[in-house]
Amino acid sequence: MAACSTGAITYPTVFGAEFLSMEVNLVTNYSQYVHKGYYVNHGAVNVTNINFCNVTLEYTHPGQNENIKVQVWLPIENWNARLQAIGGGGWQAGLYAPSLMGMTAAIGEGYSAISTDAGLGSAVFPYEWALLSPGNVNLYLLQDLASVSLNDMAIIGKTISAEFYGSFPEYSYFSGCSQGGRQGLMLAQRYPNAFDGIAASAPAINWNNFVFSTLWPSFVMRSLKEYPPACEFDAITEAVIEACDSLDGVADGIIADIDECCFNPTSMVGKTINCSTFDNAPWSISSAAASVIRAAWSGPKKFDNSDIWFGVGKDTSTTTSSIQQGIISTICDLNRTCNGGSFELAEAWIKLFILKNASSDLSNMNHGDFDRAAQLSTQMYDSIIGTNDPDLSAFRNRGGKLISYHGTADGIIPIKGSLHYYDSVTALDPNVHDFFRLFTSPGLGHCFGGNGAYPDGTFDAMRKWVEDGIAPEILNATTVGTVPILVRPLCPYPMKQNYDGVGNHSLGLGFSCK
């Protein structure tokens, strides 16, 4: 094992890249408890008094003027001869708080861990880097986020691990959810030799389409000039779950098959609720709330009523909670007057990359403007960040394995986008199940949360598939933050979860995939 010092570790070679600096620091007695859900695709990990070598590199692609930072964390003791790359979330490629927690947990389990900021720094939203000047998009940084930095990261992680330990990792893996899920599928599509196995959950693929699903409810509210408080939408969602919960034979707060749930939100119009937005004051559900939530379910429509993309599931919490961001945002004052909020993750895309003006006022968009923005989004950026190429033959042929899960109640990225992608891969390769499996989780929110169960063994199932050739038939999952905690076996698409009425459903008994 090399010493943890700049003199003992040399720069890697990455074609097209020029390294600017390297810092090497020994970190001792590092401890952190990483909660379930924050080490994506894994369970909770309690890291105690670990020693590791932190190698931080900065590099650029000459002529592009970026400054990309990569960190490789190398456990001093008990390296398991494996590399795990940790993806990002939202507009961040990695090296932000959740991915750093993931790196911590990874080295605690013996992996050398790596993550990259793709040159974006610590910016939560892309306002700091998206435009070189008004009207001119920084396409190099967008490409770094979309794809280029991912392959660079794989090469750097493997090379630095080999430099430090004296041998290359026996296996290299990638793990991510949301933006990280999109990164994982981009690796499988464009850089099939980068990683042996990929866990890519709730992936933000079809990027140029699904952002319009997140903006559609707000657009409908602006068109109606009515902004119902969050309590109205929450009440409708609760009514949906109550109406359709028992269709599978068990009342557990989870709709097992959302396609079987027929619920008309207009049936709630005029009903009185205790509105949590206004200190549980009596409140009547409006027709506007029914129209807006129906729009969230149906997905964005063109002016001629044809589809732009899919909507979210009926069991989705469309408003903001403590751990989930919702796509319907209203802001209400003490006088009980409400106005539209914003969903900045998506609005930034329209302002900066479509209109190319950070000062754009989206409140003035008409339906024609909305349709044109959706068209331009695909025209200009699908090849860069769409991440929806169904041809995974190169990844399959090199023996790679890919696992994904997606919650039916994901309030940001519609699950139907993942199902559509899997169907497209299947159309090219009917034996897709031999190397790629997508598991659906009824009631699960974005990555984790909601009423549904989170499969914390996703990564380990993928690793077992890669190393032992044992394909996962189910993913065992448990709810996060619910009382009682429910256990569920998740099914690989296109199979669906079925309850036969025998056994304790809270423990996951009596379920099968059909």
SS3 at position 11 = coil
Residue 243: burial class (beta carbons within 10 Å; 0-12, 13-18, 19+): middle
Q: Does residue 149 contact residue 129 with C-beta atoms inside 8 Å?
A: no
Catalytic residue (one of 248, 371, 410, 456): 410
Q: Is 321 a catalytic residue?
A: no
Which residues, other chains included, contact 117 with Cβ-Cβ below 8 Å and sequence gap of 6+?
Answer: 68, 69, 70, 92, 93, 94, 95, 96
How far is it between the farthest Cα atoms of the chain? 73
Query: What is the C-alpha separation between 153 and 145, in angstroms, rounded?
Result: 12
Catalytic residue (one of 42, 406, 446, 505): 446
Print the SS3 string covering 297-326. Answer: HHCCECCCCCECCCCCCCCCCCCCCCCCCC
Residue environment code for 488-500, b if the CB has 16+ CB neighbours within 10 A, otherwise e = bbbbbbeebbebe
CA neighbor of 458 nearest in space, from 444, 478, 475, 446: 475
Print the SS3 string covering 162-230. Answer: HHHHCCCCCEEEEEEECHHHHHHHHHHHHCCCCCCEEEEECCCCCHHHHHHHHHHHHHHHHHHCCCCCH
For 15, the token pair is: 């074609």
Query: What is the C-alpha separation between 79 and 359, in angstroms, rounded?
Result: 49
Residue 364 CB coordination number (10 Å):
8
Catalytic residue (one of 178, 213, 286, 418): 178
Q: Is 446 a catalytic residue?
A: yes
SS3 at position 283 = strand
Q: Is 42 a catalytic residue?
A: no
Query: What is the C-alpha separation between 120 and 115, in angstroms, rounded?
Result: 13
Q: Does residue 143 contact residue 136 with C-beta atoms inside 8 Å?
A: no
HSE-up (13 A, CA, CB side) for residue 221: 28
Q: What is the enclosing helix (H) or strand (E) of 423?
A: helix 415-428
Query: What is the C-alpha separation between 7 and 489, in angstroms, rounded?
Result: 50
Residue environment code for 252-271, b if the CB has 16+ CB neighbours within 10 A, otherwise e = bbbbbebeebebebeebbee
Strand partners, 56: 23, 71
For 188, the token pair is: 């499988």
Strands 401-407 and 197-201 come out as: parallel
Enumerate the active-site residues. 178, 410, 446
